[in-house]
Amino acid sequence: MARVHHRKAAKDYPQFGIAKGDMHYYVKIKTGPRSSREMRSKTPFKRSQLTSSDYQSQLYDWEDSKAEISDMESAQEFADTIRSLGEEQREKLDNMPEGLQQGSTGEMLTERAAACEAAAGEIEEAITDWKSAKDTWESEIETYKEELAAHKASQEEFDARESAQDDLDEGEEGDPEPTVEAAPDLPYNTQYNGNGAFEFDKSEWLDHVREVSVG
């Protein structure tokens, strides 16, 4: 990655909105054996601006956008983006002469395409796991509600029998007090608000998604 300098402008650079004396960031990026381009900015450059590789630039933007993932929908978009980048590498490979495909550049493009697809697949696997956990939990919570309603009815019956001792023969014990299993644990630390709503807690699940990287 190109080295960035922080310096005071010796003259005006109107194309960059920089006046003489302004502190700014400066970088020279090599674009070819005998070519380069200069950039100046009052604010720090993004990583994607500091490379001449279109692939690396898009990959840096993808990695730096992880914080923007907020739910399963944006996670899927995140997966789609990196898959698209992999497909671009595959298209470049397919458009190369067959002889060059076996060379170092062809191998690099193959590795990039595979790495991007693997990252997309890992994110989608996390999405599938979440949906499966959510479906299982919703089924379990319905069972829990039914058991809770039955428990309430049994408890009322038990309390009535307990208060009417003449219903029991001498020495006869009443029915044991009914019990109900605890509500099932929620996947990925999600919260259930008690009104039938399943509230997505993104912290733990998103931490998992954001750990995905292109190897």
Tens-place pLDDT, residues 103-127: 999 999 999 999 999 999 999 998 8
> Buried b vs exposed e over 113-145: b needs ≥16 C-beta within 10 Å?
bebbbbbbebbbebbeebeebbeebeeebeebe
**Sign of the alpha-carbon dihedral angle for 90, 92, 98, 104:** negative
State yes or no: pLDDT of 178 exceeds 90. no
The residue with greater pLDDT, 203 or 105, is 105
Nearest Cα to 203, choosing from 215, 186, 184?
A: 186
The pTM of the full predicted model, rounded to 2 decimals, is: 0.69
Enumerate the β-bridge partners of residue 32: 35
pLDDT score of 44: 96
**Lowest mean pLDDT segment, chosen from 56-60, 67-71, 184-188:** 184-188
Nearest Cα to 19, choosing from 28, 11, 7, 31?
A: 11
CA 24/CA 38 separation, integer angstroms? 13
| 189 Rama sector, left if φ>0, alpha if ψ -120 to 50, beta otherwise | left
pLDDT more than 70, % of the chain: 81
The token pair at 27 is 């970088």
Assess contact for 200 and 156: CB atoms under 8 A: no
State yes or no: pLDDT of 33 exceeds 90. no
State yes or no: pLDDT of 52 exceeds 60. yes
**pLDDT tier, 99 (very low <50, low <70, confident <90, very high otherwise):** confident
Nearest Cα to 17, choosing from 55, 46, 43?
A: 43
Q: What is the pLDDT of residues 136-158, one digit of tens each?
A: 777 877 877 787 788 788 777 77
Domain boundaries, the chain: 1-52, 53-167+178-209
